[in-house]
Amino acid sequence: MKKLMMLTAIGAATLLSACSAEHGTTQCTTAPESEWQNQDAFQATLLAQGYKINEFKVTDGNCYEIYGFDKDENKVEIYFSPVDGSIVKKEMH
């Protein structure tokens, strides 16, 4: 049952993300902020993984978004889920 609920939640998040993308907003989560990772700790984790952050913000779609560089020095714009830190959308420039 727990696995089915998780799959349903993943499906709903995917559908929500797809619907939001049609309207120009990347949606990362509908979870309450109390379930989000601490912003400073999350940024520290990214820096430890080799990211260079020029700008960090919380978007209207409830994402942690960075502008900067990945560990391979590629210029990136990345939207992360603030709940689990997974990449929802990544653009390389």
Instruction: Report CA-CA distances (Å) from 44 to 25, 41, 52, 53.
Output: 26, 5, 10, 10
Question: Which pLDDT score is estimated for 87?
Answer: 97
Question: Which pLDDT score is estimated for 12?
Answer: 47
Which residue type, as a one-letter code, is found at position 72? D
Q: Please, what are the averages of pLDDT over each run of 10 residues along the chain (93 residues)?
A: 45 47 81 98 98 98 98 97 97 93
For 33-70, give the DSSP string: GGGSPPHHHHHHHHHHTT-EEEEEEE-TTS-EEEEEE-
pTM of the model: 0.75
Question: Which pLDDT score is estimated for 24?
Answer: 81
Tokens at 11, concatenated: 């499906």
